[in-house]
Amino acid sequence: MKGRIFDKARLSEFIDDLIKKRKIYAPINKDGLTCFSEIKSSSEIYFDFQSKLSSKEILFPRCETLFTYKRVDGDVKLEEIKVKDEESVLFGVPPCEARGFILIDKAFSSGEFQDVYYLRRRENTIIIGKSCQYPRNTCFCTSVGGSPFGREGVDLLLHDLGEKYLLELVSKKGEKLIDYIQKYENATETDIKMVQRIEKVAKESMKTRLELKNIEEKLDNMFEDPLWKIIYQKCVGCGVCTYLCPTCYCFDVVNEQITPSEGKRIRIWDSCQFPLFTLQGSGENPRPTGKERMRQRMMHKFNYYPKNYDDIACVGCGRCIRECPVNLDIREVLKKIMAQ
Amino acid sequence: MLNPYIPNLTVIKKITQENDLNDIKTFKLAFNNPSKFRDFKYRCGQFAELSLFGVGECPIGIASSPSDNFLEFTVKKVGMVTTALHNCEEGEIIGVRGPYGNGWPSERLESHDIFILGGGFAFTTLRSLIKYILHEENRAKFSKLCVIYGARDPGELLYKYDLRTWATRDDIQVIPTIDRASNGWVGRVGFPNQIIKEVASDTENSLAIICGPPIMIRFTIPILVKLGFPPKNILTSLEMRMKCGIGTCGRCNIGNKFVCKDGPVFSYKELQNMPKEH
Structural domain spans, chain B? 8-100, 106-237
Beta carbons of A140 and A104 less than 8 angstroms apart: no
Last residue of a domain, one of A154, A177, A204: A204
Q: How confident is the model at residue A329 (pLDDT cuts 50, 70, 90)?
A: very high
Q: For residues A148 and A159, what is the distance between their CA atoms, to the nearest angstrom?
A: 11
Same domain (yes/no): A33, A97: yes
Write out the H or E segment, with its range, that includes residue A65. Answer: strand A63-72
Same domain (yes/no): A75, A190: yes
Which pLDDT score, from 0 to 100, does residue A340 have? 86
Is the model's pLDDT at A40 over the cut of 90? yes
Q: What is the DSSP letter of A82?
A: P
**Other residues' Cβ atoms within 10 Å of the Cβ of residue B108:** 14
Same domain (yes/no): A144, A249: no
Residue A275 lies in a domain: yes
CB contact under 8 A, B246 and A113: yes
Residue A210 lies in a domain: no
Residue A88 lies in a domain: yes
pLDDT tens-digit readout, A244-265: 999 999 999 999 999 999 999 9
CB contact under 8 A, B5 and A253: yes
Same domain (yes/no): A100, A235: no
Residue A289 lies in a domain: yes
Residue A280 lies in a domain: yes
Same domain (yes/no): A156, A223: no
Is the model's pLDDT at B1 over the cut of 80? no
Residue type, A133: Q
Give percent above pLDDT 90 in chain B.
91
Nearest one of A16, A64, A18, A55 to A36, comparing CA atoms:
A55
Same domain (yes/no): A197, A241: no
Question: Across the A/B interface, how many CB contacts are shorter than 8 Å?
Answer: 122
Same domain (yes/no): A35, A153: yes
**Rounded to whole angstroms, what are the CA distances from A249 to A38, A59, A186, A201, B244?**
21, 11, 39, 33, 12
* Closest chain B residue to the Cα of A82, Cα to Cα: B3
CA B261, distance to chain mean position in Å, is: 16
* Closest chain A residue to the Cα of B3, Cα to Cα: A116
Could you tell me the fold of the domain covering B106-237? Rossmann fold (3.40.50)
pLDDT tens-digit readout, B174-192: 999 999 998 889 999 999 9
Q: What are the backbone dihedrals phi and psi of residue A68, each rounded to the nearest 5 degrees, phi first? A: -115, 155
Give A271's contacts in chain B (Cβ within 8 Å): none
Q: How confident is the model at residue B151 (pLDDT cuts 50, 70, 90)?
A: very high
Nearest one of B217, B276, B88, B248 to A108, comparing CA atoms:
B248
Beta carbons of B94 and B51 less than 8 angstroms apart: yes
Q: For residues A261 and A75, what is the distance between their CA atoms, to the nearest angstrom?
A: 10
Where helices occur in A79-225 by DSSP H, the ranges are 95-109, 116-123, 178-181, 189-204, 215-220
Mean pLDDT of B47-72: 95
| B42 Cβ neighbours under 8 A, 6+ residues apart | B48, B62, B66, B98, B99, B103
Same domain (yes/no): A40, A101: yes
Residue A29 lies in a domain: yes
Same domain (yes/no): A151, A278: no
Last residue of a domain, one of A163, A179, A204: A204
pLDDT tens-digit readout, B224-235: 999 999 999 999
Query: Is the overall model pTM greater than 0.90, yes or no?
Result: yes
By Cβ distance, the residue of A251, A281, A286 closest to B78 is A281
Q: So what's the ipTM on this one?
A: 0.91
Last residue of a domain, one of A204, A227, A256: A204
Residue B205 distance to chain A (closest CA, Å): 32
Which pLDDT score, from 0 to 100, does residue B278 have? 83
Q: How confident is the model at residue A49 (pLDDT cuts 50, 70, 90)?
A: confident
Interface probe, candidates B5, B9, B32, B57, chain A, greatest A C-beta count within 10 A: B5
Query: CATH class for domain B8-100?
Result: mainly beta
CA A339, distance to chain mean position in Å, is: 29
Residue A131 distance to chain B (closest CA, Å): 30
Beta carbons of A222 and A301 less than 8 angstroms apart: no
Q: Which domain holds residue A271?
A: 215-339
User: Is A104 touching B (CB cutoff 8 A)?
Assistant: no
CB contact under 8 A, B277 and A107: no
Same domain (yes/no): A149, A254: no
Q: How confident is the model at residue A123 (pLDDT cuts 50, 70, 90)?
A: very high
User: Is A83 touching B (CB cutoff 8 A)?
Assistant: no
Write out the H or E segment, with its range, that includes residue B52. Answer: strand B47-52
Same domain (yes/no): A315, A255: yes
User: Is A75 touching B (CB cutoff 8 A)?
Assistant: yes
Q: How confident is the model at residue A48 (pLDDT cuts 50, 70, 90)?
A: confident
Residue A209 lies in a domain: no
Is the model's pLDDT at A313 over the cut of 80? yes
CB contact under 8 A, A255 and B53: yes
Which pLDDT score, from 0 to 100, does residue A282 have? 86
- How much is the mean pLDDT over chain B? 94
| B93 Cβ neighbours under 8 A, 6+ residues apart | A74, A75, A76, B9, B10, B11, B12, B32, B53
pLDDT tens-digit readout, B119-144: 989 999 999 999 999 999 999 999 99
